[in-house]
Amino acid sequence: MINKGIPYIVFLSVITLPGCVSKKELNSAIQKERISQEEKWQKTEEKIQQQQREISFLKDSLRMKDQWKSQYVSHLTDGYEKALLLGEMKSATLCLQLLITEEPSAYPWAYDSLAFYHYFYGNPLDLARSTSLVNYMIDKGLSLNKNNLFLREMKARILLIEQDDTGAVEAFRQLYKETGDYTYRWYELYIEIARGNIKSAEAGVMQVLKADIPVTKKVRLHHLQEQIKENLAVKPSFLYLKALLLQVKQQYQPMANTLKEALKADPKFYLAAKTLQELSQASQGAIR
């Protein structure tokens, strides 16, 4: 075992002298070893200095980020608000996504907005991609507040787009039960008509039309292809559902009359006007 107390030069001579070695050769070997060690120390010192420079640069970068963070966030907020005013929804969405990336806990409402932007202003021809993004934002928002009505409504609308009619009906039915919002009742009955549950749907539609409902109550309809939002009174919106029921029964003239009644109640009712026009074109003038 080598004694660690032996000076380095003695240790060197012990392990490197197999026989008689001249003093000159010994000194040369010692000199080479010293130069090798000095070179290693020099490289080590250079590495340490490089690491110190990198750490210093990182500290400066972090310090600058902290100094400019508030200004950066302010620019993003201004950009988001201006984009909304100009109707530049893609720019607004980008700014908002950058904001929640920078400070996710500071903008819990952002998931509501991003879910709606991706749903309403996304590519209607690429629903798979659109619903994937919407579902991600919905799930993130609901993880913060599972009772968020707006996001629960968005979830029901996405289920309808994904053709999960059973899930959509249950979601809208539950929302209507909790809130009394006729938007949810409208979509529930609309899906039931599409599923062929005519008897129960007709009973529901007629019940609403016979009720004395204040004009302040509204039904919110979204037309994704045209990117049109409608905020309608209950009567004209449920007259439209009545027209759909008549269409199922192949009673086209009564259907046209009902659509005209809906338009009389609200001349700006886009969906009723569009459906009446399509009905007239399909009948080639047989419908008046």
> What's the pLDDT at 245?
97
- The dihedral of CA 26, 27, 28, 33: what is its sign? positive
Model pLDDT for residues 80-105, shown as the tens digit of each residue: 888 888 888 888 888 888 888 877 77
Q: What is the pLDDT of residue 60?
A: 63
Count of Cβ atoms closer than 10 Å to residue 104 Cβ: 13
User: At which residue do the structure tokens 């979601």 appear?
Assistant: 171
Alpha-carbon distance of 5 to 18, in angstroms, equals: 22
Q: Which amino acid is at 104?
A: P
Per-residue model confidence (pLDDT) at position 123: 67
Low-confidence ranges of the chain (pLDDT < 70): 1-23, 25-26, 29, 57-67, 123-130, 285-288
Residue 286 has what pLDDT?
62
pLDDT of residue 138: 93
CB 116 within 8 A of CB 142: no
The answer to whether the predicted template modeling score (pTM) of the entire model surpasses 0.75 is no
Bridge partners of 232? 219
**pLDDT at position 6, please?**
39
SS (H, E, C) 14-47: HHHCCCCCCHHHHHHHHHHHHHHHHHHHHHHHHH
